[in-house]
Structure formats: C-alpha cells, structure tokens
Chain A
Amino acid sequence: MKTAKQENAPTRPNELLGPEMSPELLNQRVGDEARVRARAWWWWLALFATAGGVFMMFTAITWVLAKGVGIWGLQIPVAWGFAIINFVWWIGIGHAGTFISAILLLLQQDWRNSINRFTEAMTLFAVACAGLFPLLHLGRPQYFYYLIPYPNEMGLWPQFRSPLVWDFFAVSTYGTVSLIFWYLGLVPDLATMRDRTKPGLRKKIYAFFSLGWLGRDQQWKDYRALYFMLAGLATPLVISVHSIVGLDFAVSIVPGWHSTVFPPYFVAGAIFSGFAMVATLVIPIRKLFKLEGMITTRHLDNIGKVMLATGMMVGFGYVSEVFFEWYSGDAFEMQTLMDRLTGYYAPVFWTVIFCNVISIQALWWRGIRTNPWLLWILAGVANIGMWMERYLIVVTSLGHDYLTSSWQDFNATGWDWALYLGTLCFFFFLVVLFVRLIPMVSMHEIREILHERAERGKEAS
C-alpha cells in the first residue's frame, strides 16, 4: 500500500504531535486562528445548511405534538419504529466520547488528548438528539415526569423492574456526567482564552465560564483528583448505559431479542459507531482548521484500529445471534432468522453485513487507516451500517412475533425521515457552533504531552 506516503500531514506516522508543535503554536492554532478560520464562507454555508435541517426538525416535532405519533410509520406490532432505532443509534455515537475521555485516560493513552474535546462535545450533542426520541415516542410527552420517582397524590411509582425505567436513569446520569466531564476539561482552556482575548464582551464571557481559574499548584491537584475520579466513574457508566439499552431488548421475550449476547454486543456496536462518527468529524475539521500537527496520522491509525477491533466484536455478535437462533430450535426464532436472511428485510441484513463486517476488513492495512479520505469513507459506511443494524433489530423482531395473524411489515413515513434527518442536522449544527466558539482541542493536555516530549528529548541528549 502506497497510500501512507500520499498523506500530506507534516509528521512521520508514529509521531503523536507534529515536530513543529510548541506551546506558543498550540495557543495560536487552537486559541486564535481557529476563530478566524471559522469566519470563512464554508463555515457560514455549513451553519445555514444545518440550520435549515434544524428548522425541519422543529417542524417535525411540532407536527408530532399536534397530531400524535400516528403520523409516524408505527403500527401494532411494530410500535417502536424509528424512535427507538434513532435513540439507540444516537446513544451509541455518544459512547466513543466517553470511551476516549475516560477509559483511554485511565489506560494512559496519550493520543486521546488531541481528540477528547471533540468527542466529548460529540457525546453531549448525540445524547441531546437521543433523548428527544423516547420523549416524543411517549405520545404524551407532557407527562414525561411520571418517569421520575417522586411522592405523588396518586401513590404511584415508576416500575423499577422495567429496563425502560433503567434507561431513563442511565441516560440522564450519562448526560449529566458527560456534561460535567466536558466542562471540567474546558475550564483551564477557557482561562487561556480569557487571557488571550482583548477586553470586551468575549473576554467577559470567557472570564465567567473559566470560574477564575489561574493554574495554581493546589488548583491543579484538586482538578486532577476530580478529573481522574470522574473518569473512574464514567468507565463503568459507559458500559452500563448501552448494556441497559441492550437489556431493553434482551429482557423481553420477542424472537430475535431474547439473548444474553445483547449487552456486550450493544456496547461494542456503540463504540464502533462512535469511532466512525469521530472519524467523520475529525478528518474534515483537521484539514479545515490546519490541525494536522495535533491530530496526526497516528491518531487516524488508532481510530482505524479501534474501529476494526470493535467492528470485529460486532461481527462476532452477528455470528452468535445467528447461531443461537438456530440452536434454540424454536420455530419463531428460526422464522425471524430466515426473515432476515431471505425475507422482506434481506437487503437491509446484507447491507449491514457489508458495511459492518466486510468493508472494515480494509482497515487491516495501515495504508488505508492512515489515508484520511479512505478512512472517512469507511467511517461513513460504518455509520450507515450501524443505523441499519438497529433498524434490523427493532423492526424485524417486532414485525414477526409469536402471533402470526398480527404480522406486519414496517414502512417509515416522511415524518419519520424528517425527524431523523432533522436531528442529524441539529447534531452537525451544534458541531459547527462548537468549532467556532470553544477551543476544540484540549490545550492544557497537549501542553503536557509537549512537556513530556521535551523531557524525553533532554534525557536522550
């Protein structure tokens, strides 16, 4: 493979940061230039294009609030439809952020420092999109607070044995912890921005959000203590969240869902789709904002490796699913399997296999992992594949359950698509605002890497 040589980033593939990087250049690139670059025509174009999609999303929400969930393609037996597919997909995308910020921090993987800010932001935006779907799917969203346990005159409590109530707790905890983690990481960088900005409104805003941070010795000690503790909490949390989402399915007895493989298989799928989204965002942004010195080919290489590893786990999940459906000897399980392999939804099944199992085999080659645009295409394919996988799980099982007289095929309506594509635009809209307003690379963590590199350089000489 020659593709690695075509890479125009100024670094050797095994370098974590470009050789030209210094604290001063870092402040310039991330602190000052990024804001200036974001004034370009393409930023405005992206903003207006995604804002149009956000308008579409609000229209779709308004219409579903006015008319009810009947405007979607839902019916009995497929009562979950797009709302749950999109919920699972978005929550999964969020997982890469926490994986990178928490798990890779505890494993002392320095390469995370260049991309953790993006991915934490991505987590927050994805969780915001995800949370929308179960709320609207309630049908009477104004009563969503019934999910919160509070003493009430009716003497009613949520059913704590239900995985759907676990979901409520898991997703709200996950959203809160991700927000705290993201904001905490931002505080020292906001202080840097405060001290680099000329007096005015912008400086006041940075001063407000940087909480009077200075970087004293004791401040750093407390900061690191909290940061590592939160990472320790977030690590089992991220595993629990998608396990619980998997249990939404596995605890029921619907054919194709009632399987113990679901929680680990969902977690692997979540990290896979999340890393695919990381690559989708990071590759254009590093080019547009000239961040190749910070997000080097080594980062792309690692993103590719994680995608390959988690994608293989997902592939193993598919194999074990098929095996256990056959091994159960249950006629309905077999029927669901045959539906997927050869029935109405067969094109979806085989697309999933192509996107999530076959196409990622290309990532065995280093040349492909380190070629930004090939990786970007593969990541896009994986994003589509993971969405279709959720479609397959939700729709085929529900459509063909134990009561053959009620079997129905699912077809989405225009409003289903409007809301889904609307949230996609909403997600990108928030990303577009993020790159302009907030330091998009964690400067203080990169400084640590630069400091360590300098120390190693001194020892070597």
Chain B
Amino acid sequence: MRAPIPGKAVVASFKDVEQFEAVVKGYVTDNQHWSAQTVTPHPLESLDALTAYRPSPIPRIIFWAFICGATGGYLMQVYAMAITYPLNVGGRPLHSWPAFIPITFELGVLTAAITGLVSWLIRLRPRLYLRELESAIITRGTQDRYVLMLVPIDPEMKAADLIAKEADLKQAGAEETEVRLWD
C-alpha cells in the first residue's frame, strides 16, 4: 500500500525506539482520524507486528522470473544445438542436456535479478524530489532518528487539532515536533 502524499501532517522525531514503537502502536490500532507513516534509518522488525503486515510480492515475482529465464535459456540451447544447427561430433547426442545446465542456471539468475530490480523500482517509484525532504525533522529519519508522520484522514482538519496532536506527541516523548503544511 502506497502512503498518500500528505498535504499536511504532524511530524515527530524520537530518539528512543521504545517510545517510538509505543506511539506508533497507538495510531495504527486507532486509525480513524490519522494515517500513521514512519520513516526509520534502518528496518524495524517490530513495525511488522504493529502495522498491518503485508508481505512484499517481490519474492514471488523473482521466483517466476527465474523459472521463465531458466526455461527460456534451456529451450534456446536445444533450439540452437539440436534443431537449427545440428553438429554431429563423433555421434554424440545433439540434445546433450548436461552440457546445457550451466547456461540454463545462469540465465535463470540473470532474469530473476533484473526482474527483481525492475519490480522493486516500479514499487519504489523513483523521484528526484520529495516534499517531505523540506522538513529538517523528517530528514533525520534517514540518519539517526525514528520519525512518525501523522496525516489527517480528513483533509479539512482544523489547525487547532493539528497543534493539539503535536502537543500530545511531545508529551509522549518526541524529541522534536512540528506541524507541516504543504501547499
């Protein structure tokens, strides 16, 4: 699931991972008003348990890409060596399958790796600019702080509610907080 690009958000950074996890937990179980998004400097396995964990489809894509690449590679060799250009070397079999194993394997791996990269890029949607990066608090999330962005589900939410939420997060142990409005 791709997070919506927030128009406004309450942003909080945490130094302590336990406080961060506790706060995140609160917002993923009660998500009627807020959509919680996290930015962390390293993968946090505890978030898998907290958020609705949906396994990535990438391993399955890679598996099928491997099967396709390997099959295609094998068939290509059979076609070339036994069908279009049969070469009789001392009466040895044209469909000499043991000799085709290495290239079959290599082409399976090559196809799987490239397909894996492409599917990852499609899911990442590379971009040159992110407006989140305008916030000095959020950019700490790629360095040494755990960052929580609370995006109001209702885009018309009043500023006073956002400010109240900011105070809540401060209370919960956030190191730095801000209300971010993007136009």
Contact = CB atoms under 8 A, between A and B. Distances in A.
Interface string A139-170: 00000000001000001111011010110011
A255 B43 CA distance: 54
A220 interface: yes
A221 to B, nearest CB: 5
Interface string B53-66: 11110110010001
Chain B interface extent, by class: 35 or more
Contact of B42 (A156, A166, A444, A458): A444
Interface stretch (A54-62, A211-219, A340-348): A211-219
B43 A448 contact: yes
A237 B109 contact: yes
Contacts of B117: 180, 184, 226
Interface stretch (B139-147, B159-167, B169-177): B139-147
B113 interface: yes
B41 A444 contact: yes
B34 to A, nearest CB: 15
Interface in B36-93: 37-44, 47-48, 51, 53-56, 58-59, 62, 66, 76-77, 80-81, 84-85
A169 B37 contact: no
A212 B76 contact: no
Contacts of A207: 128-129
Interface in B6-53: 17-18, 37-44, 47-48, 51, 53
Interface of A: 22-24, 26-27, 149, 155-158, 160-161, 163, 165-166, 169-170, 172-173, 176-177, 180, 184, 188, 191-192, 194-196, 207-208, 211-226, 229-230, 233, 236-237, 240, 244, 247, 444-445, 447-448, 451, 454, 458
Contacts of A170: 102, 106
A212 B106 contact: no
A192 B103 contact: no
A180 to B, nearest CB: 5
B69 to A, nearest CB: 10
Interface of B: 1-3, 17-18, 37-44, 47-48, 51, 53-56, 58-59, 62, 66, 76-77, 80-81, 84-85, 96, 99-100, 102-103, 105-107, 109-110, 112-114, 116-117, 120-121, 123-130, 132-133, 138-144
A225 B142 contact: no
Contacts of B37: 216-217
Given A218-B1, A218-B3, A454-B17, A160 B103 contact: yes
A448 B81 contact: no
B36 to A, nearest CB: 9
Contact of A217 (B38, B58, B77): B38
Contact of A222 (B17, B58, B139, B144): B58
Contacts of B140: 195
Nearest to A233: B109
Contact of A173 (B77, B109, B130, B133): B109
Given A221-B56, A229-B62, A177 B80 contact: no
Contact of B124 (A166, A172, A213, A217): A213
A256 to B, nearest CB: 23
Given A169-B102, A216-B3, A221-B48, A196 B124 contact: no
B112 A233 contact: yes
Contacts of B121: 211
Contacts of A166: 102-103, 106
A223 B128 contact: no
26 contacts: A27-B144, A158-B80, A160-B100, A161-B100, A169-B106, A176-B113, A177-B109, A188-B142, A194-B142, A195-B140, A212-B124, A212-B129, A214-B141, A216-B3, A216-B39, A217-B44, A218-B3, A221-B55, A222-B56, A224-B56, A226-B117, A229-B116, A230-B113, A240-B106, A448-B42, A451-B17
Contacts of A222: 56, 58, 120, 123-124
A183 B80 CA distance: 35
A17 B107 CA distance: 39
Contacts of A451: 17, 42, 44
